[in-house]
Amino acid sequence: MCSPSPGSWGWTKQNEMWEPVWSKLASTWTACRELEKCGCKSGCDSQCCSCRRIGLPCTLQCKCNDACLNKSENHEDPSE
């Protein structure tokens, strides 16, 4: 029984030693920022709003509803 080559699983041989090949994909944090949602009960006009704090507009998943001052310009409610 042969073990699979590490070269097939994200490693490369450099100077007779195996080194990991680092991903060029966006970090998980960057990719998942859009999943952020705030729990604000008023305005979203300060850094207390978790969406505003990371530089994103509030979305339909947020609890701020109509009082929000951090919605994007193209934010539309599908129920309308």
Picking from 8-12, 19-23, 43-47, 69-73, which range would have the lowest pLDDT averaged per residue? 69-73
- List pLDDT tens digits, range 33-65: 667 889 998 889 999 999 999 888 998 889 988
> What ranges do the domains of the chain cover?
36-72
Q: What is the dihedral of CA 46, 66, 75, 59, to 10 degrees?
A: 60
* pTM, full prediction: 0.53
Answer whether 52's CB lies under 8 Å from 72's CB.
no
